Amino acid sequence: MSGTLYGLGVGPGDPELITLKALRVLERAPVIAYPAPETGDSLARAIAAPHIPAGRDEIVIRTPMVPGRFPAHDVYDKYADEIAGHLAAGRDVAVLCEGDPFLYGSFMYLFARLSETHPATVVPGVSSLGACAAAAGVPLVSRNQILTVLPGPLPEDELAARIEASPAVAVMKVGRHLDKIRRVVDRLGLTSTAHYVEHATMDGQRVMPLAEVNGDGAPYFSMVLIRHAEGEAGS
């Protein structure tokens, strides 16, 4: 009997923001896997660390993090093969995912390769969207407002057009795009309604008005929240 592939959302950073369901799966799965950069530690594993029992088989999914590029097919083919071996032997494999597995998560590449041939379950997690809004004390959207989620690497003109067209915006993956994003928000006259959040719910969380952010770079895990109609949530 085949094991089950689990995509486990472990939440945005605070280990306490894992769900009971993810915890239950994590405590039972004989094999856990998680993404990591080519060298260095896995954030997903660090988030889940307090909950990982000793003595589990661990698969470190190392993928090159080249700005503006995405991992090649063969990297995920290789790890899918390795995971398929465990599943064929009847062992469940829990893949740890920062935030939510299906919101920009690399788990989807494994899911696409394995879910048609193996039992697969996705356990949704707390995403950085809600976590950043909570940290900033700023609602994402209310009533019948539109929310647009934009990746920071988008070209400047596209960012500007999309931000202008949406009453509520979350720009993710800010990183080295901070300067560009700040310029766009400024040009649109929205700086006074924009918040910056870095490492939400983690050690080193920083929250401030975008206007007060210094420097021209930010961590990958940072976000800019923009609302056109400030204060509407209070009405």
Cα–Cα dist 45/223, whole Å: 22
Q: Is 175 helix (H, G, I), strand (E, B) or coil?
A: helix
- Phi, then psi, of 220 in degrees rounded to 5: -55, -40
Q: How many of the other CB atoms lie within 10 Å of CB of 192?
A: 10
Least distance in angstroms from the C-beta of 103 to a second copy: 5
Q: Do the strands 194-198 and 222-227 form a parallel or antiparallel pair, or are they unpaired? A: antiparallel
Cα–Cα dist 99/128, whole Å: 6
Q: Out of 86, 113, 182, 227, point to the residue binding a second copy (CB under 8 A).
A: 113
Least distance in angstroms from the C-beta of 161 to a second copy: 9
Q: Which is nearer to a second copy, 31 or 136 (CB)?
A: 136
Closest CA to 167 of 104, 225, 235: 225
Residue 87 as a binder of a second copy (CB under 8 A): the answer is no
Kindly identify the residues of this chain, within the stretch 187-226, that bind a second copy according to CB under 8 A.
201
Q: How many of the other CB atoms lie within 10 Å of CB of 219?
A: 14
HSE-CB for 229 with a 13 A CA cutoff: 16
Q: Out of 103, 119, 206, 228, point to the residue binding a second copy (CB under 8 A).
A: 103
Residue 175 as a binder of a second copy (CB under 8 A): the answer is no
Q: How many of the other CB atoms lie within 10 Å of CB of 56?
A: 14
Residue 160 as a binder of a second copy (CB under 8 A): the answer is no
Instruction: Judge contact between 33 and 83, C-beta under 8 A.
Output: yes
Q: Out of 4, 14, 75, 176, point to the residue binding a second copy (CB under 8 A).
A: 14
Kindly identify the residues of this chain, within the stretch 38-77, that bind a second copy according to CB under 8 A.
70, 73
x/- track of binding to a second copy for residues 126-145 (CB under 8 A): xx-xxx-xx--xxxxxxxxx
Taking CB under 8 A as the binding criterion, the range among 4-12, 27-35, 53-61, 207-215 that sits at the site for a second copy is 4-12
Placement of tokens 């809600």 in the chain:
130
Q: What are the residues binding a second copy (CB under 8 A)?
A: 7, 9, 11-12, 14-21, 23-24, 70, 73, 100-105, 108-109, 111-113, 115, 120, 122-127, 129-131, 133-134, 137-151, 153-154, 162, 166, 173, 201, 233-235
